[in-house]
A and B are shown apart, each in its own frame.
Chain A
Amino acid sequence: MSFYDPAGFWLGLAGAGVLLTHLIRRRARRVTVPFLPLWAAALGERRGGFGSRLMRYLDLLLVLIACAALAVAAARPYTEGTPSTARDLVLVLDGGLELRAGDRHRLLWHVARAEIQRRAPGTRFLIVRVGEGRDISVRCADVRTAMAEVSRHQPAWQRRSPDDALTLARAAAADLRDPDFVFVTYRTITPEDWRLRVVKQDAQNAGFASLEVTGDPEGGGRFARVALRGEGYAKIGEHWAGELVAGEPTVLQLPLPREGEAEFTIVLEGDAFAADDTIRLLLPGRESPRPLVVSDTGEVSPFLISALMALEATGAITGPLEQTVPARAAEAAKKYSVVIFDRCAPPRTLTGVPALYLSPPVGALPFRVGEEHAAPALFHVKREHPLVRGIDLERIPPLNGRAVLGGEAIASAAPGALLAIGPAWVALGFDPDRCIFASTPAYPLFLRNTIEWLAKVTRRSAPEFYRVGETAPQKGLVRIDGEVVHRVGQQLIGPPGVWQIEKRRYAVNLLEPELDLAPATADSDPLPAVGEAGVPDQPHAALFAAIAAGVLLIAWWVFWRS
């Protein structure tokens, strides 16, 4: 027991005064009696035991107890409560659309809520939303408001990096009590000082995926080991196993496979991490399309050949280049992903094959062509379309051309669309050889865009990535990471991970604009409670005052009875 005001014990001197008064009052008189043994008989009865002696001093005892209780009450006693061991929580919510990809009521939102609910009462929360147009940090004083705040969170396209989020969170949490940072994204990044960032930008073009691992623990000296184990890339995995130096970012270049795909397991180990962490990374293969050129005479435009050879040299397409006549095109097209018809019409037997039609004549086309016009001027181009990315068609005046009727117009002139697309075709309504287009660097770029676009269209029936919660089109979906195998069929796809549909792997939870990270953290694991609620101080002054009053009443009663 502690006391708020120990000076109150001076009131205990009142007890000394009471005792002194009692002693004075009880000072013995001197009386001479004729025969003392006569009193001894009476004494024998009165001095019988402890009870009788206690009764003689009961009134004094009670008053002294009352004085003591009053003194203790004046000192304002209290029982020290247990200090709260709760750490304040800084909850950084990733605002990227990848959160929307999952079943937010069961996955990431569940994680966020579980993080809040397992906190001890008295924990203060700072919820930082990342990825929204402005910095938003909300302070919540209790679990209920924090839960409501998390529920209001709406994912959006992420425009802030996790670094910015952590910087914002640190600045906002300066006054919190030993805050515990939790970054709720597809991975819950703990601890805060180690971050794994996958830089995917331009990695596809360069043939590499870049991983930047930054270790920046306070105090330094700790390290983590990063091991990359690629399926079929054991050599690479061994090569990239190494150590991270605190404070020095380490960039790991992962070469993308030429064909197929590779799965890498990144293992983070070390005492700087709360636990060994594993990230599974699925990198798509670089399977370039292989075109087939068809012409009426069997001779291909030298500009076209030159451009395709350049694309083959850069790896954009797969060689060797093959050319044929329309009569054989139907048979030969089965081995190629894209067919280019150079100023000729396809045979009637060839349908459904992705094809590029350069200045097509009237024939068995999936679209119609109009009358030929001289010097059609292009006045409208959809610049954002992948076909014309990096190409300024408006600066290329064709000498003549035919309008493409049907499909979606990409570039239009007075007669109609000079560049149009369909479900599996692209048609250029003018002859590139008869204008400056074929001789410009934009021509092979146009060919690359067109071939990649057509090749991608053909693969859309089997997407590489599914979001969590999306319906898988095929039956027999099984999860291959770990021992648990789920058969979900047409149901919503479950936990994130790497899945396989009919021997083809897919990363569930991946979103094209975001990182190709598949979290391996088991969100379903029960989270241990964090901290304990403190017990406030319990004052006892009123209790002791009541005791004093009660004892005084008893003392008065005893005095009255005596």
Chain B
Amino acid sequence: MAGSTGSADPQRVFFDSREMAQLRQLEILAAKVHKGQLRGERETSRRGPGTSFREHRSYHEGDPLRLIDWNVLARMDILVVKEFDAEVSLDVVLLQDCSESMRGAAAQCARKVTAALGAVAMPHMDRVLWAPIGGAGARTADVFTGRGRLPDLFAAVDREPGGATDLMGALRGAVPRKSRGGVAFVMSDFFDPRGVGQALSYLVSRRFQVRVMLIEDPERLAPPPLGRTLLKDAETGETTLLDITPDVVAAYNKAREARAGSLAGFARRTGSGFLRVRADQPFFEIVRSAIRRGWLLP
């Protein structure tokens, strides 16, 4: 896997045993909170294979013999078959920004959040689709299912940042056109020169419930000292000569806030979740904030 750190024990890279225990607790808490919701091991309103009996119906020719309720036939001499609620797995799409702009604390924050989401989703047989944003361009998502694949997911998310942000390209590669929907988590700084509105709308149009996490690295986003400065874009390499003045700094901060506000507005309009975090925030503080603000609820 390109950009992978290739750690022998990636689980330990992200979380120690205490943190994993907390995540397992979160998992339980999450299960409680989301009981009856669509989970990988939970029933659906549709009939289908499952473990939860729903009702009997008359036998029709061709029905599998294993569905015949033999007890009813023996007692009442009626040939019926048992029907169950279908139990399907949930597609959890994890989009991790691995572009150059995320280098540093933001990238580490994105790794841990992505890994944590995978750690929460995979034990419940949810299908995790992970795809990086940036780097080599559009690519298909890696699918991870089952707790046993968690180390693989950890290994995948442990990527070094690089390349330009291409959110739309990453989504088109990761989400098939005929998607059955699911939950899409996007962890990024959303520094895409082409804009992010269209890409996020693409996710919504694919019946995904979108959860947007805006990760900001205060250290990298802090304006440089006042004075004449040659600004270089970390991803594109473009440069601009700028005289940094208090007014410019104010305008820059205003632009940042406007951009965050634009993302929040998009989330409100589409019923998506939006969470703005600082990269230097403690991880579990981010988790608590996500729970408190309903960001984790699908």
B240 A41 Cβ-Cβ under 8 A? no
In the bound assembly, the distance between CA atoms of A45 and B228 in angstroms comes to: 17
A36 B248 Cβ-Cβ under 8 A? no
In the bound assembly, the distance between CA atoms of A39 and B243 in angstroms comes to: 11
B interface: dominant SS: mixed
> Does B291 sit at the interface, judged by CB under 8 A?
no
> Does B189 sit at the interface, judged by CB under 8 A?
yes
Interface members, chain B 24-54 (any A CB < 8 Å): none
B230 A28 Cβ-Cβ under 8 A? yes
B231 A39 Cβ-Cβ under 8 A? yes
> Does A33 sit at the interface, judged by CB under 8 A?
yes
A43 B242 Cβ-Cβ under 8 A? yes
B231 A31 Cβ-Cβ under 8 A? yes
> Does B101 sit at the interface, judged by CB under 8 A?
yes
A32 B234 Cβ-Cβ under 8 A? yes
The answer to whether A34 and B255 touch (CB under 8 A), given A29-B224, A46-B247, is no
- Convert B199-220 into 0s and 1s, putting 1 for each residue whose CB lies closer than 8 angstroms to a CB of A: 0000000000000000001001
> Does A239 sit at the interface, judged by CB under 8 A?
no
B234: A residues at CB distance < 8 A = 32-35
> Does A144 sit at the interface, judged by CB under 8 A?
no
B252 A38 Cβ-Cβ under 8 A? yes
> Does A134 sit at the interface, judged by CB under 8 A?
no
Q: Which residue of B lies closest to A57 (CB)?
A: B243
A37: B residues at CB distance < 8 A = 191, 193
The answer to whether A28 and B228 touch (CB under 8 A), given A33-B234, A43-B242, A46-B248, is yes
A36 B228 Cβ-Cβ under 8 A? no
8 Å CB contact of B240 from A27, A36, A45: A36
B190 to chain A, nearest CB (A): 9
B78: A residues at CB distance < 8 A = none
Interface centre among A28, A36, A46 (most CB of B within 10 A): A36
The answer to whether A38 and B259 touch (CB under 8 A), given A28-B228, A46-B247, is yes
> Does B238 sit at the interface, judged by CB under 8 A?
yes
Interface members, chain A 1-56 (any B CB < 8 Å): 26-43, 45-46, 56
B220 A29 Cβ-Cβ under 8 A? no
> Does B256 sit at the interface, judged by CB under 8 A?
yes
B233 to chain A, nearest CB (A): 4
The answer to whether A31 and B241 touch (CB under 8 A), given A42-B251, A42-B252, is no
A35 B245 Cβ-Cβ under 8 A? no
Give the 10 A-B CB pairs with smallest separation, nearest first: A36-B233, A35-B191, A42-B251, A34-B101, A41-B255, A28-B230, A42-B252, A31-B224, A28-B228, A26-B228
8 Å CB contact of A26 from B191, B220, B227, B236: B227
8 Å CB contact of A42 from B102, B217, B235, B255: B255
A33: B residues at CB distance < 8 A = 220, 224, 231-234
> Does B5 sit at the interface, judged by CB under 8 A?
no
Q: Which residue of B lies closest to A31 (CB)?
A: B224
In the bound assembly, the distance between CA atoms of A34 and B193 in angstroms comes to: 11
Q: 23 A-B pairs, CB-CB below 8 angstroms?
A: A26-B228, A29-B228, A29-B230, A30-B230, A30-B232, A31-B229, A32-B234, A34-B101, A34-B102, A34-B191, A34-B220, A34-B235, A35-B193, A35-B233, A36-B233, A36-B236, A42-B251, A43-B240, A43-B242, A45-B251, A46-B247, A46-B248, A46-B251
In the bound assembly, the distance between CA atoms of A45 and B246 in angstroms comes to: 13
Question: Given A33-B220, A39-B252, list of 12 further CB < 8 A pairs?
Answer: A28-B230, A28-B241, A29-B228, A29-B229, A30-B229, A31-B230, A32-B234, A35-B235, A36-B233, A39-B240, A42-B249, A56-B243
A27 B228 Cβ-Cβ under 8 A? yes
A residues adjacent to B (C-beta < 8 A): 26-43, 45-46, 56, 562
In the bound assembly, the distance between CA atoms of A34 and B102 in angstroms comes to: 8
> Does B225 sit at the interface, judged by CB under 8 A?
yes
A32: B residues at CB distance < 8 A = 231-234
A41: B residues at CB distance < 8 A = 251-252, 255, 258
B100: A residues at CB distance < 8 A = 34
A40: B residues at CB distance < 8 A = 240
B189 A34 Cβ-Cβ under 8 A? yes
B166 to chain A, nearest CB (A): 14
Interface centre among A29, A31, A35 (most CB of B within 10 A): A35
Number of residue pairs A-B, CB distance < 8 angstroms: 94
In the bound assembly, the distance between CA atoms of A40 and B254 in angstroms comes to: 12
Interface centre among A28, A33, A38, A56 (most CB of B within 10 A): A33
A35 B231 Cβ-Cβ under 8 A? no
In the bound assembly, the distance between CA atoms of A210 and B51 in angstroms comes to: 165
B242: A residues at CB distance < 8 A = 39, 42-43, 46
Interface members, chain B 244-282 (any A CB < 8 Å): 245, 247-249, 251-252, 254-256, 258-259
A39: B residues at CB distance < 8 A = 231, 240, 242, 252, 255
> Does B221 sit at the interface, judged by CB under 8 A?
yes
B248 A42 Cβ-Cβ under 8 A? yes
Q: Which residue of B lies closest to A56 (CB)?
A: B243
Q: Which residue of A lies closest to B252 (CB)?
A: A42
B232 A31 Cβ-Cβ under 8 A? yes
Interface centre among A30, A31, A41 (most CB of B within 10 A): A31
B231 A36 Cβ-Cβ under 8 A? yes
The answer to whether A34 and B221 touch (CB under 8 A), given A26-B227, A43-B240, is yes
Q: Which residue of B lies closest to A27 (CB)?
A: B228
A84 to chain B, nearest CB (A): 57
B232 A36 Cβ-Cβ under 8 A? yes
A35 B101 Cβ-Cβ under 8 A? yes
In the bound assembly, the distance between CA atoms of A45 and B241 in angstroms comes to: 15
A29: B residues at CB distance < 8 A = 224-225, 227-230
Q: Which residue of B lies closest to A42 (CB)?
A: B251
A175 to chain B, nearest CB (A): 68
A43: B residues at CB distance < 8 A = 240, 242, 248
B234 to chain A, nearest CB (A): 5
A558 to chain B, nearest CB (A): 13
In the bound assembly, the distance between CA atoms of A31 and B232 in angstroms comes to: 6
Q: Which residue of A lies closest to B195 (CB)?
A: A37
In the bound assembly, the distance between CA atoms of A56 and B226 in angstroms comes to: 12
A34 B217 Cβ-Cβ under 8 A? yes
B227: A residues at CB distance < 8 A = 26, 29
A36 B238 Cβ-Cβ under 8 A? yes
B233: A residues at CB distance < 8 A = 32-36
B115 to chain A, nearest CB (A): 22
B46 to chain A, nearest CB (A): 44
A27: B residues at CB distance < 8 A = 228
A34: B residues at CB distance < 8 A = 100-102, 189, 191, 217, 220-221, 233-235
B229: A residues at CB distance < 8 A = 28-31
Interface centre among A27, A34, A46, A562 (most CB of B within 10 A): A34
- Convert B159-191 into 0s and 1s, putting 1 for each residue whose CB lies closer than 8 angstroms to a CB of A: 000000000000000000000000000000101
Interface members, chain B 132-155 (any A CB < 8 Å): none
A56: B residues at CB distance < 8 A = 243, 245
A171 to chain B, nearest CB (A): 78
B243: A residues at CB distance < 8 A = 26, 46, 56
B50 to chain A, nearest CB (A): 47
B105 to chain A, nearest CB (A): 12
In the bound assembly, the distance between CA atoms of A562 and B245 in angstroms comes to: 9
In the bound assembly, the distance between CA atoms of A36 and B221 in angstroms comes to: 11
B191: A residues at CB distance < 8 A = 34-35, 37-38
B248: A residues at CB distance < 8 A = 42-43, 46
In the bound assembly, the distance between CA atoms of A36 and B241 in angstroms comes to: 11
Q: Which residue of B lies closest to A46 (CB)?
A: B248
B251 A35 Cβ-Cβ under 8 A? no
